[in-house]
Structure 1
Amino acid sequence: MDVLGEVLAATGFKGVLLAQLRARGSGWGCGLERLGTAGFHLIAEGTCWLRVAEQPPRQLVSGDVALLPQGEPHHLAGSPEQAAVPYAELEAAHPVGRDGILDLGGHGPVARIVCGKFDYDHDASQHPVLSALPAVIHVPGMSADPELQGIIRLLALESTRERPGSRAVAARLTDVLFVQVIRAWLDTADTDPQSAPQSWLTALRDPRIGAALSLMHEAPQRPWTVESLARDVAMSRPAFARQFKQLVGVSPLAYLSRVRITLASRLLRDTNRLVSDIGEAVGYTSEFTFSRAFAREHGLPPGRYRREALAQPAGT
């Protein structure tokens, strides 16, 4: 079971290419407000500096990717100390061209930055993947594995093409880019455990706890207990419960509840099935139990959640 892929699919996760910045020299700065969604910057050419509150400036060079999972406010600039102008003001002064590039002008070496975001059905603080990640993930292009380097090069190329379907290709590549960046981040857990705090994502690396996570995602409707999960991964109940909580950060049954409610949310949004049928499909024995668990997670009952989701305009 591909747990990461299942979670991303269940939350309607998809990449969106926004625009590109092109600037010359070091006398430029672009300020971006909180996105309300995860965002990323891929340095297609040249260098720039990324500044996020309470963190030292980071130099980004060609081939690097910076992912901001919670969409923190940040600055991109030609030098660490350069003042930043809000993006909206820059866009008003330098309208985006037909090629999708916001050209800031200037003199000197060129920096080109591909900017995108990820849409999904939760806010970043609640998303089961994004909430498990640090505020900034910086993947240096030179240290990335060949697969990620290939995605970076192809995305940088497709973002400048004006061939039919280029933007659609670039958007799909952003989905792949996200997964590859997460893989690269997880690999840092071997050398720097502090960069990868406890979460279900890092727990995927553990053979037995990762197997238990896969079982819950593969068959959330089963009447799982701590005992049955421990038995299926060949562990004693106490050892399994202790190790699961240590690695994932919550108990096995608390995690199972999240899996069920995330799946139920997708079924409520994307199907016409009865609320009672959806509750049964994800493992609840009664509509009352399902509604209570759903409201505990989302703050509103399933029927109201469906009505509000359907009332939202497409693409929001």
Structure 2
Amino acid sequence: MREAFHLNFGRRAVLILYLFFAMPSAIAGSLGVIGIEASSLANPFFQALVRGIMFYARAVDPSVEVVTVQNEYDLHRNQSNLEQLKSRKVRVLFLNAANSTSVAPLIAEVRKAGIIVIAVDVEAAGAHATVMTDNLQAGQIACDYLAKALQGRGKVAIQTGPSVSSVIERVSGCKQSLQRYPDIQLVPGEFNGSGSPVGGRTAMAQILKAEPNIAGVFTINDRQAVGSDKTLTEAGRNDVYIISVDGSPEIAELMRRRPRVLGSAKQDPYAMAHKAVELAGLFLAGKTVAKPKIQLKSSLLTQDNLADYRGWEAEPGKISP
């Protein structure tokens, strides 16, 4: 898929000049062709991440050419995408892998071609560097908030998702928090929402069938939360709390209509994009990177701070501290 997202730079000329001069001198220069592989371009988070990478790349090199593809969590598609990007002679690949470990041989082949690989959002074995949310912490703060909303008791289910590091760590963080509440009962079973609204609907239906007395559910992303909400609405269940990870504009809108949607541990796709482009420039300049894995801390979007929410669309030029 060719570049699918465009930015209006007319309103941001001053910001672009600032970014150019604020970045280390090693980053400034020609990027040529870069590739971005996202898991799903239907996901608002990855749409924002792509916009962010394009924005910061163009702040460095206004003539940069961007090739954007998606893998839909399919390793075979991941492989064909990387072959396509190699044939396009990209200098940098910003990779959201379909599988964090199985992708290693593919990355090895890409690196043999002299391409810099920066993993974004999820880890990818063999990448030069990784920029991601601290997903363990995101899962921890989300499920701690859920447990407190339930006053430390009740039956809680976890919706899992694709087999990538971010999902695994969010689930692990959630379980760590719930273990601190002895009267919280975790519903047994594997409820995989596949990272999508449809998957969230199906997983929530499975949860209601497995445990009709469910009190709360943690979903690994906002898209699953949206699907779960639809299932609960159809079932007439306004007594089940939902909490998630992403902090997307979509979940903020849902929270305004559904008090049972407690919140979401926020990700910052623009800060992630900025760090990824910065690392790419350093590697291209032959610099040594002391910290090749960067984890961005998460904070909670809740019903209490919803009025102050500024969505991803409102922060296209945000620079992380």
TM-score > 0.5, shorter chain as reference: no
TM-score, normalised to structure 1, is: 0.25
TM-score, normalised to structure 2, is: 0.25
Larger Rg: 1
